[in-house]
Amino acid sequence: MGLTRVLVKDGGFGTQMTVHVGNSVDGDPLWSARFNATNPAAIINTHLDFLQNGADIILTNTYQASVEGYMEYLELDEEQSIELIRNTVRLAHIAKEKYLTECYQAQQTIPEGYPLIIASIGPFGAHLHDGSEYTGSYADYVPAKTITDWHRIRIEACLESGVDALAIETIPCQMEAEALVEMLCDDYPDVKFWVAFQCKDESSLAHGETFADAANAIWDLLAERNAQDKCLAVGVNCVHPKFVTSLFKSLNGDRNDEEQIPLVVYPNSGEVYDVVKGWEGREHCVPLANYVPEWAQLGAKIIGGCCRTYARDIRHIGEAIRNWNKLKKVA
């Protein structure tokens, strides 16, 4: 699955889902993962929104899904919680089948194997519900094995229901990323993935490590294991879009096209979250589609959106990516 063209990833799942369920997602300890149990139709329809607006890739709604979270907030037992995660992946498959049927009926051709269904594997901090996915503070006191053991249950549940790859995402600290990549190489040698870090500014991960150092460490780790082909990309997500170009230049700025590390990016809209007032500043946001050429030039192979990005934003990103892909074919 070496990526020759730039692919369009979906947008903010919880954001787009508000179209179907109203504004009851933010602030819930399970976030959008509650609706996997309570409103599966909304999950399917949210996936469909992104597919109908040009996404090559949809992520399963498993970012905040964990056995602990489901046991505590939905009063399920362990096996029921695991089955709910498996079923959440199946909802993405249902959406894909519906979309492919629509395309077939409209005589619209889709590239073989697409759209891709990729499992969202959010950070250890997400289930703590204390904001630590945006600080990585747990890296200072939680052992790597505790983190990988926690991830393993969800990863296996997703793999059992069938996914094309894993999105190791919103990872705030280098330690968690390295531990997960080592585990995937050792225990799941056939599984493809990407690693996307959460960054607090134009050079640093949320936990403070330098993005370029962390990304290079992952790439070197894969090289040592002869496993770079397992990794679709390394990059960032859930960051302010204005930070992305600097982050990518710090990693790929001095590499020529052949040497570039393949990158993935799906930032937030650029709005800022205020605990009291909610999201603010949409009117000042630069459309994400405007950034596509500079990010692709720096090696981005997968571009989409995260918080506060809707299906319409993905449509615009997709148009910009198609223009870029055409340009590169001519060049």
Q: Which residues are annotated as a binding site for Zn(2+)?
A: 238, 306-307
Q: What angle do CA 170, 171, 177 make, to 5 degrees?
A: 145
CA 202 to chain centre: 19
SS3 144: helix
- 44: tokens are 């399917």
Per DSSP bridges, beta strands 193-197 and 165-171 are parallel
Question: 214 burial class (0-12, 13-18, 19+ CB within 10 angstroms)?
Answer: buried
Bind-site residues: 238, 306-307
DSSP conformation class of 108: -
Q: Rounded to whole angstroms, how far apart are CA atoms 257 and 328?
A: 12
Q: Rounded to whole angstroms, how far apart are CA atoms 123 and 177?
A: 9
- 249: tokens are 């230049």
Amino acid at 320: A
8 Å CB contact between 284 and 215: no
Question: 276 burial class (0-12, 13-18, 19+ CB within 10 angstroms)?
Answer: exposed
